[in-house]
C-alpha cells in the first residue's frame, strides 16, 4: 500500500515542474541583452570646452580616474593669444567589473583665449557636424555591422567663477551648440567662491539661460513607479544645475583618511565631499544614471534632425535636377 502511494506521488508533477511548463522564458530577455551589451562594450564621447586654466583636463581625469593629458604641452601667454581653436581627441579603453567603456575626450584648446573671439566656436560645431556626416555615410553604406559611433554625446561647458554670470562668448557658444549636442554647464574652480557666492552665481546663470532661451540638457522626468530614493536623487541633480565643480588628481590626508583634494593654507578642499562641491553629483549624472539617456537624445534627437535635413537636401537636389532636365527637354522640343 505504501509503495502504491509512493508510485502515485512520483507520477504527480512537482510544483517546480508544473511552473516550468507554464514558463515561456521571455523574462530572460533583459539578461540576454545585458550579456550581449557587456560582451560588445560601450562607447561614450565627451566634449569639454571653456577658457584655458579652468581645470578642464583635471576634472576629466578626476571623473574617469585616468590620465588623458600626460604629454600635453602648456603654452605661454603669447602663444595662447595668437592660437586658434583646435580640436584634439583622446581615446582610452576603461574596464570596471568586467564592463568595457571606450571613452573619447574631445578637447578644444584655444577656445576663448584670443583677443577677438568672434565665431571661435565654429571649429567645434564643424567637428560635431563632421561626426554626424561620417555616421550618416556609414549608416547609408553597405557595411553597417561595424559602424563606429564617434558622435559627440555630451558637452561639458566650463563657466569661469569670476564675474557675475555668463559672458557674451558663453551665451553665443551654448546657443550655437544647443541643437547639436547635450550641453551641460559647469561652474569651474568652485573653491574660489564661498557657498553664498556659488548659490548666487548659480541663480544668475539659470536666470540668464532662461532669458536668452538657451537649451541645455534637460533631465528626463521620473516615472511614478520609481523608488523614493531615486526621485530624491533626481530632484537634487536638477536643483544643482549648473554644477559647481572642483577637480584634483592628488591624494591628501584629511581627518585620518586619504582623499582626493586640494591643500590650501586655510585647509583642505575634498573633491568627493558633497558639502564642498558638486563633483559627486556631476559624476553620478554623467556616468551612473544618465549616460544612456545622453546617448539616446544624441541618437534620437540631434542626429535625427541632422539626418532629416540631409535627406531633405538630397530630395530637393534631385527635384531640382529633374525639373531642370524636363525644362531643357521642353525647350528642345
- Where exactly are the structural domains of the chain? 39-69+76-324
Q: Is the pLDDT of residue 2 over 50?
A: no
Separation between Cα atoms, residue 179 and residue 302, nearest integer Å: 6
Whether a cis peptide bond, with omega within 30° of 0, leads into 49 is no
- 3-state secondary structure at position 72: coil
Question: Quick one: pLDDT at residue 299?
Answer: 92
Q: What is the pLDDT of residues 212-251, one digit of tens each?
A: 999 999 888 877 777 787 778 888 888 888 999 988 888 8
pLDDT, average across residues 272-279? 88
Are 293 and 84 in contact by the 8 Å Cβ rule? The answer is no
Question: Quick one: pLDDT at residue 1?
Answer: 47
Q: Is the pLDDT of residue 204 over 90?
A: yes
Question: Quick one: pLDDT at residue 306?
Answer: 92
Question: Quick one: pLDDT at residue 205?
Answer: 94
Q: What is the pLDDT of residues 258-268, one digit of tens each?
A: 888 888 888 88
Instruction: Kindly give, in sequence order, each residue whose CB lies less than 8 Å from that of residue 31, ignoring residues fewer than 6 positions away.
Output: none
Question: Quick one: pLDDT at residue 24?
Answer: 64
Question: Quick one: pLDDT at residue 298?
Answer: 94
Question: Quick one: pLDDT at residue 232?
Answer: 83
**Mean pLDDT rounded to a whole number for the chain:** 80
What's the Cα-to-Cα distance from 223 to each of 220, 228, 238, rounded to whole Å? Answer: 9, 11, 15
Maximal CA-CA distance, the chain: 106
Q: Is the pLDDT of residue 181 over 50?
A: yes
- E strands of the chain, at which residues? 42-49, 88-96, 99-107, 154-159, 183-187, 243-244, 251-254, 257-264, 267-270
Question: Quick one: pLDDT at residue 251?
Answer: 83
17-21's contacts with Cβ under 8 Å and 24+ in sequence apart are: none
Provide the grid cell at 290. 544618465
Fold assignment, 39-69+76-324: Rossmann fold (3.40.50)
pLDDT, average across residues 102-127? 80
Instruction: Kindly give, in sequence order, each residue whose CB lies less than 8 Å from that of residue 159, ignoring residues fewer than 6 positions away.
Output: 50, 166, 170, 185, 186, 187, 188, 205, 242
| % residues pLDDT > 70 (the chain) | 78
Q: What is the pLDDT of residues 15-48, one digit of tens each?
A: 666 656 666 666 776 677 667 767 777 889 999 9
Torsions phi, psi for 75 (to 5 deg)? -90, 150
Q: What is the pLDDT of residues 124-145, one digit of tens each?
A: 999 999 999 999 988 887 777 7
Amino acid at each position: 500500500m505504501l509503495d502504491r502511494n509512493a508510485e502515485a506521488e512520483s507520477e504527480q508533477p512537482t510544483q517546480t515542474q508544473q511552473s516550468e511548463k507554464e514558463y515561456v522564458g521571455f523574462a530572460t530577455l533583459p539578461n540576454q541583452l545585458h550579456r550581449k551589451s557587456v560582451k560588445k562594450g560601450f562607447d561614450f564621447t565627451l566634449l569639454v570646452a571653456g577658457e584655458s586654466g579652468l581645470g578642464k583636463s583635471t576634472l576629466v581625469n578626476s571623473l574617469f580616474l585616468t590620465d588623458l593629458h600626460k604629454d600635453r604641452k602648456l603654452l605661454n601667454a603669447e602663444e595662447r593669444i595668437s592660437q586658434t581653436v583646435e580640436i584634439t581627441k583622446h581615446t582610452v579603453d576603461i574596464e570596471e567589473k568586467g564592463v568595457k567603456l571606450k571613452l573619447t575626450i574631445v578637447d578644444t584648446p584655444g577656445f576663448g583665449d584670443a583677443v577677438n573671439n568672434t565665431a571661435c566656436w565654429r571649429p567645434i560645431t564643424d567637428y560635431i557636424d563632421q561626426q554626424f556626416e561620417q555616421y550618416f555615410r556609414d549608416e547609408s553604406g553597405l557595411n553597417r555591422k561595424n559602424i563606429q559611433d564617434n558622435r559627440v554625446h555630451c558637452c561639458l561647458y566650463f563657466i569661469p567663477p569670476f564675474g557675475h554670470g555668463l559672458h557674451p562668448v558663453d551665451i553665443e557658444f551654448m546657443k550655437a551648440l544647443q541643437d547639436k549636442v547635450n550641453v551641460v554647464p559647469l561652474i569651474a574652480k568652485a573653491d574660489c567662491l564661498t557657498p553664498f557666492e556659488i548659490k548666487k552665481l548659480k541663480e544668475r546663470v539659470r536666470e540668464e539661460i532662461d532669458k536668452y532661451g538657451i537649451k541645455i540638457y534637460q533631465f528626463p522626468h521620473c516615472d511614478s513607479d520609481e523608488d523614493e530614493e531615486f526621485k530624491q536623487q533626481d530632484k537634487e541633480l536638477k536643483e544643482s544645475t549648473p554644477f559647481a565643480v572642483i577637480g584634483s588628481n592628488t591624494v591628501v590626508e584629511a581627518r585620518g583618511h586619504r582623499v582626493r583634494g586640494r591643500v590650501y593654507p586655510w585647509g583642505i578642499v575634498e573633491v568627493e565631499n558633497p558639502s564642498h562641491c558638486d563633483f559627486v553629483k556631476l559624476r553620478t549624472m554623467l556616468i551612473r544614471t544618465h549616460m544612456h539617456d545622453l546617448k539616446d537624445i544624441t541618437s534620437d534627437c540631434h542626429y535625427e534632425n541632422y539626418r532629416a535635413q540631409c535627406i531633405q537636401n538630397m530630395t530637393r537636389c534631385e527635384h531640382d535636377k529633374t525639373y531642370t532636365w524636363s525644362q531643357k527637354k521642353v525647350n528642345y522640343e
